[in-house]
Chain A
Amino acid sequence: NAGVTQTPKFQVLKTGQSMTLQCAQDMNHNSMYWYRQDPGMGLRLIYYSASEGTTDKGEVPNGYNVSRLNKREFSLRLESAAPSQTSVYFCATSGAGVSTDTQYFGPGTRLTVL
């Protein structure tokens, strides 16, 4: 089992460009999350999906859109990238088995916007 995978691992964009970050899980989890991690600020929730077909805003949703393509995949899109979106992005999943609260994180995507 691969667990939670994210692509790409690294990306450099110019201001105004768009891109989609991909996340996939093979853990049969219902809930999926997108976080961003900035120095000194911990992890902040951007969007989450409680189940296939539903998405909701987290703490810092502005400038992002998401799609829950199916149970396995949850993508994060930046329509017009800004330098303030330079960050490390993590996808996480939860919601199956004995402990539905436990969130499992992917390896992250390091994004730089010039």
Chain B
Amino acid sequence: GENVEQHPSTLSVQEGDSAVIKCTYSDSASNYFPWYKQELGKGPQLIIDIRSNVGEKKDQRIAVTLNKTAKHFSLHITETQPEDSAVYFCAASGGSILTGGGNKLTFGTGTQLKVEL
């Protein structure tokens, strides 16, 4: 099955700096790579995703890059703000589409991002 590794487990940056979180995956058939943000006491929320036919995707201060050959993808947050402090999870699909739509996701172990003033 799919295996997703995520680094670092904790990341502390100064407000305004950039943050980068990296993930690797094992299944070359995986074709969908979402990133989730989880605030304390809440469920994970999708912030950006990328598919295997795209190398990079941006949404305001957030970007994700994908290197299919190396089987790794990264989350980049620029101009970090205190409200970016949360746990971030990467995930990869196993490539199998469920009959009703959707994919089985394998998650990384999470990165605790702290943005300091």
**A interface residues (Cβ-Cβ under 8 A, vs B):** 4, 29-31, 40-45, 48, 50-51, 54, 58-59, 90, 92, 94-96, 99-108
Q: Which residues of B contact A (CB under 8 A)?
A: 1, 4, 6, 9, 32, 34, 36, 41-46, 49, 89, 93, 98-110
Inter-subunit contact A50/B102 (CB<8 Å): yes
| CB-based contact A30/B109 at 8 Å | no
A62→B102 CA distance, assembly (Å): 23
- Contact in complex: B43, A90 (CB < 8 Å): yes
A-chain residues with CB within 8 Å of residue B36 when the two chains form the complex: 105
Q: Do residues B44 and A94 form an inter-chain contact, with CB atoms below 8 A?
A: no
Tell whether, in the assembled complex, residue A105 and residue B109 are in contact, meaning their CB atoms are under 8 Å apart: no
Tell whether A54 pairs with B34 under 8 Å between CB atoms, given A40-B109, A43-B107, A106-B43. no
Q: Which of B6, B100, B109, B110 contacts A95 (CB 8 A)?
A: B100
What DSSP secondary structure best describes chain A's contact surface? loop
Q: Within the complex, what minimum Cβ distance (angstroms) separates A101 from chain B?
A: 5
Q: Beyond A40-B109, A101-B32: 11 further Cβ-contacts under 8 Å?
A: A31-B98, A31-B102, A43-B89, A50-B98, A50-B102, A51-B98, A59-B106, A92-B43, A96-B101, A101-B103, A108-B41
